[in-house]
Each structure stands twice: as structure tokens, then as C-alpha cells.
Structure 1
Amino acid sequence: MNALRGIALQVCATFIFTIMSALVRIVSGRIPTGEIVFARSFFALFPLLALLAFRREISSAVRTANPVGHIVRGSVGVLAMSSSFAALALIPLADVTAIGFTAPLLTVALAAVMLREKVHVYRWSAVCVGLVGVVIMLSPHIDGGYGSGQGGMGALIALFGAACTAVAMIQVRRLTSTETTAAIVFYFQALAAVAGLATAAWGWVLPDAGDALMLLSIGILGGIGQILLTESYRHAPASVVAPFTYSAMLWSLLLGFILFSEIPPLTVLAGAVIVIGAGLFVIWREQRLGIERAKAIEAAPPAGPAV
């Protein structure tokens, strides 16, 4: 384990994903969302397959005991990705990023309902506080006082995408009981590419050289970001590296200002701080529960001999 390396990989992955989102925002006015989803997923397969080939793990990536589970995860994941990309065409980069932070909180609530996980009052309180932050973030868009008339729709689409992301994470938890990480990542990218390709029936556009380069970059960056994200958890516990996911807010603020001259209102920033604080509390609480479970196991008396 190397905590500093894990943190560095997480921060790099987050930065790369934010650049990818900025490129999506640039091309979203000219390229259909389905075409962007295809590019993001198809071209991401190249760095992923290159890494798997280098590690001689391609066989483990294509081997699956639960193809239906992958289809469910892929379908919900495509909805999440499509919603995020559609929202980027309507509202600022930092706003989409901030609303996306709702996903971990929704995952806690869904885990209690769908996985029957025991969620104590501390984490439920964090979820409730986080939802208050969501309402604060959405308010400038819903009341029509910020951006274009499409702002409210964009904010709701981003929130729907966050909810789909939470459902996808629940499905990933289910898949980990039988599937390797390589298989989960590979099948999602492949299924998302197929789903994006299917939207060609509704009309794609032929991108010019600049847009084609950006579409290629979106996919390659997405694949590299996914690899770095996965690698970060190889070098440090999730409780150590996960908080640095929130560095995306800093990157999105910087890129939004530099590339699009976007300055979110204070209400959005205040709501984001509340949501991030609630998310960090959930991570801290998970770490504490993990320590308590480990101590309980160590303190348990050894099992007697079998008779």
C-alpha cells in the first residue's frame, strides 16, 4: 500500500475526467448526445484493452458468470452518462459536477432499500443534510433566475443522472460477488458503445476535424481516467482516496471560468459545500464502522474444534 501514490492517482483521474467533461460541453452544441456517448465508450476501450493485454488479463475481462447483471449495469450506466452529457449542454460545468456529488449519498439510501444494508442514524442524517444542499444548488435553476430558460431542465437532468449513477453503483456491488473489476469495466464500456451506436438511427452528424479530434480525446481521456481511478484503489484504502474525488469541484470551477467564463452563484457553491461535507461524513463513518468491525473480529473468541 502506498497512500500518497493512491491519492495522486485519484487526483489525476479526477482532473482528467473534468477535462473530458469540459470537452463534452464544448462539442455538445454541435454533436448529438448519443454520438458523444459512443465516442466516450468506444475509444475508451483502446487504453483499457492495452492495459489488460499488458497484464494478460483479457481473458478475465471477457469471462462472466452474470451477463444479465452486466446488461442491467450497462443500461443504467448509459442513462447516467447520457444525462450528464445532456446536462452539460444546458448548465455550467461546475453545476453539473456539484449536482453529481449527490450520487454517493443516494447510493447510501438505495443500499438500505435494495441491498438491505443496515444504515444507522448517522448516515441517514448525512443523506438528509446532503439533500438540503441539493435543494439549495437547484434553486437558482428552478426559479429561473440563473442562466437560460433551459437551466431548470438541465439541473433536473443532472440530478436524474446522479440518481442513475447511484443505481449503477448498487448494481456494481452486486456484480463484485461474481465478476472481476476488469470484466465490470470492460462490459460497461462495450455495452455503452453499442447503445451509443444505436442512436445513429436518430441522426448523427459528420464532425469536422476539430470536433472529431475532441470526440477521440473524450474517449481516450475517459479510458485513461478509468484506469487511473481503478489503480488508485490498488494503492490505498477507499476511505483514504475517495475524499479526493471532490477535487473535481476545484477543477470544474477553474476550467469553467477559463474556458467558458462561468462563475456559479453563491447558492450553488453553498449547496455544493453542504453536499461535499455530507459525503465526507459518510466516508468517515464508513471508515469508523470498518475499524469497529475489524476490532470485533479480533476480539471474538476462536472457534472450537469441529466435532
Structure 2
Amino acid sequence: MSNAMTAEPAERVYAGILLTSLAYILFSSQDAAIKLLVVGISVWQVMFFRSVVVLAGCFASGGATLFRDAARSPIVKPMLLRSVLTLLAWLCYYTAAKYLQLAEMTTIYFAAPIIVTTMSVFILHEKVPLLRWGAVVLGFIGVFIACDPAKLGLTMPILLVLAAAFFWALAIVLLRKTALQERTIIQLVLNNVFFLVAAGVPMIFVWQTPSLYELILLVTVGALGGAAQLALFAGMKHAAASVIAPFEYTSLIWAFIFGYLIWHDIPRPEVFVGAALIIFAGLLVIGGEQIRRRG
């Protein structure tokens, strides 16, 4: 399995990098919209509406046949496991958000790409070159510098974010495994059917009628989340998990951009230093791929 993954054509690897980078731009846009929403709407309601919008788009694209194919898919069970892990990551992350600063949360959560790279060795049996390990570590250093966190200690909110990073990393590794076995849109349907059911029950008890503004934001979250999942699932078909892991760090850059545009947050000088390291880490992966293939 490792040989097949490391021998993928350069065009496929670069397509995977491009698609996953696009996915993280969309995810960052979605998170900005969610940050605006959770002031008055519960996370359960946001997840439910997001799934409704995504599934409506899937139905418009493939009709009832698509949903029948999804129900008969051989990856139903692995996708269910992955969806549970993603849900756990969401719940841990947004519960901790009540108690930690964004800088603290971001720094801890971006341990995920390192966990992804490590797990890709033991679970997917991928061969991770030293240069790629260096890119992952360099990206994390960039995140650390950009956020400049205080000495935190192991409080419950911090443990929740670490748990979120672990659950998300494991979900990403499992996604790589299932991405090669099924069509991207089938994975999208299965993932969002689970979220629809999982969020539907608790939403009954926390329902709040959205205003027109909130309704527009809910639809926007669904559109952005669906497009992001589609890009991420497709990207996983093209490149190894350890190749694309460092590109998750680009979410931090977009988070600061959206923070400035929406909330007028002014990044500190350290942010620009960290962002430069994050970008360089991504370029290091691309350069490493070129060198490896020429050799």
C-alpha cells in the first residue's frame, strides 16, 4: 500500500494539495460564519442546518439514486466511525471555545497535522520523508509564534482541545483510507446524513427560531461546509495524508484575515513571522515532492 501511495503521479499530488488548500479556505470561511452564529444559535442547530443544505445540494445533483447508492456503499461503517470522530472533535473544540482565547486554542489544535503525519505511518503505512516531517514541525512552530500563547497547564479546556486535535487527526487518516474506495459525493452524503441525525435530537431541546440574517448565515455555512468537504474528500483521493497535513496550517492565515475583515482584529508582528513559516512549510512539501520525483 505504501508503495502505491508514494508512487502517485506529480499531477495528482499537486491536485490533492490544491484541493485540500481550497478546502481549508472554505472551512475557515465557514468557521467565521459559525462564530457570528453561535452568539445566538446553538452548535447543534448550526450542524443540523449545515447538513440539510449539503444534502439538498447532493439531492439536486444526483437525485434519489445517489442516496440509494450511498445506503448500499461498502464504506458505510468506516464513514460512520469517521463521522463520530468528527462530531467528537467539533463538540470538544466548541466547548473549549467558551473558556480559552482563540490564540491558545489555535496553537493546541494545530497539533493535528503532526498527529496525522504520525498516524499515517502506523495506520496507512505511508513512508514519510525526513523533509516532510520537517515541514510539519516547521508549520507548528509558525503557529506557535503567530499565537504566542501563555503558559497554559493541563486544564480541562486545554485537554478538550487536545482531544479535538486527536479526533480530527484520526478522522483525516480514516478519510484517506475510505477516500480511495468510494465516490466523493457518496462520502459527502454519508457524512452529512450522520450529522443530520446526530444533531437533530439535541436540537429539539435547544431550538431557537433564526432571524432572516441568521437564516442567511445558516445557509451560507451549509454551502461553505459542503464545498469544503467536497474539496477535502476529493483532495484525499489524490495525495497521501502526510503530504497534505502541513497545508492544514494555512487555516490559521485565513483565520487572521477573516478576523481583520469581519471583527477588525489587527494581527501582531509575530503573526506575520508565523504566517511566513507556515507558507514556507507548505512550499517545502511541494519542493520536496519535485526533488524526490527527479531523483
TM-score, normalised via structure 2 length = 0.72
Structure 2 unaligned segments of length 5 or more: list them. 1-10
Per-residue CA deviations over 1:225-258 (Å, capped at 9, x if unaligned) read: 4345566789999999998776644443232112
**Aligned equivalent of 1:179:** 182
**Distance in 2 between residues matched to 1:162 and 1:127, nearest whole Å:** 15
**Aligned equivalent of 1:22:** 32
**Distance in 1 between residues matched to 2:276 and 2:242, nearest whole Å:** 19
**Equivalent of residue 257 in structure 2, options 254, 260, 266:** 254
Q: 1:156 to 1:206 in 2, by over 3 A?
A: farther
**Aligned equivalent of 2:84:** 75
**Distance in 2 between residues matched to 1:122 and 1:19, nearest whole Å:** 30
**Distance in 1 between residues matched to 2:178 and 2:45, nearest whole Å:** 28
**Distance in 1 between residues matched to 2:85 and 2:136, nearest whole Å:** 22
Structure 1 stretch displaced more, 215-224 or 165-174: 215-224
Say whether residues 1:38 and 2:41 are aligned partners. Answer: no
**Distance in 1 between residues matched to 2:159 and 2:276, nearest whole Å:** 19
**Aligned equivalent of 1:281:** 284
**Distance in 1 between residues matched to 2:53 and 2:189, nearest whole Å:** 12
TM-score, normalised via structure 1 length = 0.69
Per-residue CA deviations over 1:17-48 (Å, capped at 9, x if unaligned) read: 33322110111122222222222222221223
Q: 1:235 to 1:252 in 2, by over 3 A?
A: same
Q: What is the Cα deviation at residue 172 of structure 1?
A: 1.3
Structure 1 stretch displaced more, 83-92 or 14-23: 83-92
Q: 1:198 to 1:287 in 2, by over 3 A?
A: farther
Contact 1:129 1:274 in 2 (8 A): yes
Q: What is the Cα deviation at residue 50 of structure 1?
A: 2.1
Structure 1 stretch displaced more, 232-241 or 155-164: 232-241
**Aligned equivalent of 2:6:** none
**Aligned equivalent of 2:3:** none
Per-residue CA deviations over 1:154-206 (Å, capped at 9, x if unaligned) read: 77655543332211111112223533322222111111121111322653333
Q: 1:128 to 1:154 in 2, by over 3 A?
A: same
**Distance in 1 between residues matched to 2:181 and 2:18, nearest whole Å:** 30
Contact 2:48 2:196 in 1 (8 A): yes
Structure 1 stretch displaced more, 219-228 or 238-247: 238-247
Contact 2:117 2:245 in 1 (8 A): no
Q: What is the Cα deviation at residue 13 of structure 1?
A: 5.1
Per-residue CA deviations over 1:98-127 (Å, capped at 9, x if unaligned) read: 766543332111112333333343333444
The residue identity in structure 1 corresponding to 2:173 is: I
Q: What is the Cα deviation at residue 220 of structure 1?
A: 2.2
**Aligned equivalent of 2:196:** 193
Q: Matched residues, percent identical?
A: 29
Structure 1 unaligned segments of length 5 or more: list them. 145-151, 293-307
**Equivalent of residue 226 in structure 2, options 201, 223, 236:** 223
Contact 1:104 1:279 in 2 (8 A): no
**Aligned equivalent of 1:167:** 170
Q: Answer with 1 or 2: which has the greater Rg.
A: 1
Q: What is the Cα deviation at residue 74 of structure 1?
A: 0.7
**Equivalent of residue 123 in structure 2, options 111, 114, 137:** 114
Contact 1:44 1:223 in 2 (8 A): yes
Contact 1:34 1:82 in 2 (8 A): no
What is the root-mean-square deviation in Å for CA atoms of aligned residues? 4.4
Structure 1 stretch displaced more, 252-261 or 71-80: 252-261
Q: 1:195 to 1:225 in 2, by over 3 A?
A: same
**Distance in 2 between residues matched to 1:104 and 1:279, nearest whole Å:** 12
**Distance in 2 between residues matched to 1:7 and 1:110, nearest whole Å:** 19
Number of residue pairs matched by the alignment: 284
Contact 1:22 1:93 in 2 (8 A): no
The residue identity in structure 2 corresponding to 1:121 is: L
Contact 2:120 2:242 in 1 (8 A): no
**Distance in 1 between residues matched to 2:245 and 2:38, nearest whole Å:** 29
